[in-house]
Structure 1
């Protein structure tokens, strides 16, 4: 009986399309060269074995071998003994007939690159990537036991230990390792906590204006939203107690209020803690970017001065490193740990152990602290470039002393929808401030991010937005 291989490699993306007539060997050679030149086939990419390519194209194997040999002689591919044929790392600059071989290098951002000004950009640099790459390589060579088995629903013990040490030094938080839960980001933690402690008819205070993603989550869970106004001292607990004194929870960003940027004053922190203790309410403290303070250390976290065990602290590596890591953490009051553990075990079981292992080493070896020092400097420079680029715009630009975004307020009665349109026409991305208000009178302005962008890039985009907004107003 004829034997058939049932698991042939799928080389479909690498198979050239040849004309039905004419010298097919020459056509194969020309088409492979075109695929290399246009970077459909990338440097270092393996080509199909000659036998399988010949079978797929219904060519003599000798014709494929001859085409490969000619491409190798011209410098387009290289043969590796026992491994196969690969696209050369460096291909010739010009073809024999003078045709340019390499596709032009794009000069602007790729379609997948975020536009300057987009919120939530990561802060990794080349050195950080190099350190992480080495640690990932080690972890893959010796993967943690949890990589092949189910792990702890709260996450890797070594990473939780590093987080406990980090928070004790930087945020004044004293918690046990068993109180720390690794999550796949703040939104994941919010969802888990809300489902664990807040039935669908619960009332929750939120800042007005508020972080939209948190607000959308609370609404989707059927919670009753109680908007509490924000001023220069942050959320006003007195207004919250007047509106809903028996609310079950409050969600806020006390270190750097999103989006307005205020820091919750110490008298209001103490008043909020007193209210939560008396009402038996939960305080959900979202500390999303406290690492990025440019003029001294931030105030102690609410969790650090909580003596009644009412604060649930949320942190994230999305802003400090990169959103793509999908890692955050929650510090829970001891009395609710088992409740949350059971619910976590019913949802996603446990976090990614490979990434946890790498990040634990990254922190333990001092890379994280060094990265934050570099990232703060880069973000401060990007902030300054953004402020400078917008200085001539008809906007009132706030120069924040912390965080990863700023607000450019509209002047007069100009709508921020039109300002956003003009700014984006000039190359600067933004979010409309007015859309983040709930009950308080909406202020018109643009919320603009500066993390993850080179100084020259964000400055150029800001200058472009300034020109577009200025021209738009004249028109």
Structure 2
């Protein structure tokens, strides 16, 4: 059990006004993390059982479990089946470095960060695996990418523009790429875009950070899906926004909760094409109701259409931006999922009144995206190669999704049930009642398999236990071997 002083530290975090915008589980997680970083909880020290700590704090056990799960995901604690939770061995290095810095004359006692800087640092950021392993989500197949064609187009650009491709670029992006993107989203997604309304960025994550800082002030409310994409939640938390979770059903976001919510919000974030992580598609009537709500309250709709190219069942619904006559929607897309992560090109289709403010704000972040990559991508799209590549990958991904769903049904019977999505690059699986999500994720990690727990994506921490399985980047034989290994690991761990 915690010492009295340690318990009081956690209680102080819960009660501090500066932390009021954070959900309870995040306050507990950050308080315990601070105790570890300060050396108050040494390596190998046991943490209180979740039930006991919940009783001491007067909270639900689920709230404590969610806090512990995040601490484990960040590497601060280890969880051992049947033994409990312990401070991780690796934390000694972090703790010793902190104490050493306090004793060194030429260093300040602690980083003098702003509240926003502290929030960004403590969030851990958004980090992707440099060497993907099954079943890390959101990673496309890169081994099938037409590299020789890309090299040829890049050489053409260099031959025609020469060293001009090495100079600073337009902060809004090169015009040929903006025009190609506008043509593409108009044709394929039913958008209303023109080249002058497209802003080229390095990623959808950058677009989310821009929206959070340009459209809202710290302390203002934004509606988010529950569960929600972790990158969006971290961007909004870092900006000091109050995230108000809105529940989902099989038709996506429950828009009626937004319409009837007495608390005003300046914006809503959603992934309507196939929601992350559930895969649900927002119905047309809810899209229209959301558009009218935004117009009535002069609120913004932040629409992340991150992997809309990959829809496997029926025709995809038109994007919200294309249905919005009031220009209250910011449409965000990325080539990270449709082409390859190393390209570092995303984009936003903006309402006219936001073009200049967002472009100016972007210059304060990184100035511009690399012109050579932009011009090469523009030719790739203009030549029809992008559409051909997406169509080819759509067929490959659909086959891999079907294979994965079948293998989960065969090998994980009695453990988890696949929730086959209509699109996307990952498939959610729900654990059978009584099984531990944390134990499953831990067992998979020890077997060299990456699973993203579903409950950690719920703001309220009350989601049904399960995990997300990315399938796009893995060949059929790799999927088969990984599912077999996962099944063995989960049964041995008695998950």
TM range (shorter): 0.7 to 0.9
- State the partner residue of 1:363: 381
- State the partner residue of 1:119: 137
Tell me if structure 1 keeps the 8 A contact 2:137–2:470.
yes
The aligned length equals 364
Q: Per the alignment, do residues 267 and 463 of structure 1 end up closer, same or farther by CA in structure 2, a change over 3 Å counting? A: same
1:139 is paired with a residue of what secondary structure?
helix
RMSD (CA atoms)? 1.8
Give the superposition deviation at 1:199.
Answer: 1.1
Q: Per the alignment, do residues 126 and 141 of structure 1 end up closer, same or farther by CA in structure 2, a change over 3 Å counting? A: farther
Indicate whether 1:352 and 2:370 are aligned. yes
- State the partner residue of 2:400: 382
Give the superposition deviation at 1:347.
Answer: 2.7
Q: Per the alignment, do residues 204 and 127 of structure 1 end up closer, same or farther by CA in structure 2, a change over 3 Å counting? A: closer
Indicate whether 1:412 and 2:433 are aligned. yes
- State the partner residue of 2:478: 457
Indicate whether 1:195 and 2:213 are aligned. yes
- State the partner residue of 2:89: none
- State the partner residue of 1:447: 468
2:171 is paired with a residue of what secondary structure?
coil
Q: Pick the aligned partner of 2:224 from 171, 188, 206.
A: 206
Tell me if structure 2 keeps the 8 A contact 1:426–1:467.
no
Tell me if structure 1 keeps the 8 A contact 2:247–2:254.
yes
| TM-score normalised to structure 2 length | 0.71
2:493 is paired with a residue of what secondary structure?
helix
2:427 is paired with a residue of what secondary structure?
strand
For 1:133 and 1:145, locate their aligned partners in 2 and report how far apart those are by CA, in whole Å: 17
For 1:144 and 1:224, locate their aligned partners in 2 and report how far apart those are by CA, in whole Å: 48
Q: Per the alignment, do residues 460 and 251 of structure 1 end up closer, same or farther by CA in structure 2, a change over 3 Å counting? A: same
Q: Per the alignment, do residues 427 and 152 of structure 1 end up closer, same or farther by CA in structure 2, a change over 3 Å counting? A: same
For 1:204 and 1:318, locate their aligned partners in 2 and report how far apart those are by CA, in whole Å: 26
Q: Pick the aligned partner of 2:489 from 465, 468, 473.
A: 468
For 1:375 and 1:238, locate their aligned partners in 2 and report how far apart those are by CA, in whole Å: 36
Indicate whether 1:421 and 2:442 are aligned. yes
After TM superposition, the structure 1 = structure 2 runs for residues 170-319 of structure 1, keeping only pairs within 5 Å, are: 170-319=188-337
Q: Pick the aligned partner of 1:339 from 357, 370, 389.
A: 357
For 1:370 and 1:448, locate their aligned partners in 2 and report how far apart those are by CA, in whole Å: 26
1:447 is paired with a residue of what secondary structure?
strand
For 1:216 and 1:117, locate their aligned partners in 2 and report how far apart those are by CA, in whole Å: 22
Indicate whether 1:158 and 2:176 are aligned. yes
Give the superposition deviation at 1:151.
Answer: 2.3
| TM-score normalised to structure 1 length | 0.74
Tell me if structure 1 keeps the 8 A contact 2:142–2:473.
yes
For 2:298 and 2:461, locate their aligned partners in 1 and report how far apart those are by CA, in whole Å: 27
Q: Over residues 328-370 of structure 1, what are the superposed CA-to-partner deviations in whole Å (9 max), with x where a residue is unaligned?
A: 1100001121111222233322211000011001111111111
Q: Pick the aligned partner of 2:417 from 390, 396, 413.
A: 396
For 2:314 and 2:458, locate their aligned partners in 1 and report how far apart those are by CA, in whole Å: 30
Give the superposition deviation at 1:122.
Answer: 2.4
Give the superposition deviation at 1:305.
Answer: 0.4
Higher mean Cα deviation, 258-267 or 391-400? 391-400
Larger radius of gyration between Structure 1 and Structure 2: 1
1:255 is paired with a residue of what secondary structure?
coil
Give the superposition deviation at 1:114.
Answer: 1.2
Give the superposition deviation at 1:146.
Answer: 4.7
Tell me if structure 2 keeps the 8 A contact 1:390–1:462.
yes
Q: Per the alignment, do residues 305 and 387 of structure 1 end up closer, same or farther by CA in structure 2, a change over 3 Å counting? A: same
Q: Which runs of 5+ in 1 are unaligned?
A: 1-110
Give the superposition deviation at 1:112.
Answer: 5.5
1:473 is paired with a residue of what secondary structure?
coil
Give the superposition deviation at 1:245.
Answer: 4.6
Q: Which has the higher helix share?
A: 2
- State the partner residue of 1:330: 348
For 1:399 and 1:470, locate their aligned partners in 2 and report how far apart those are by CA, in whole Å: 23
Tell me if structure 2 keeps the 8 A contact 1:143–1:354.
no
Give the superposition deviation at 1:120.
Answer: 2.1
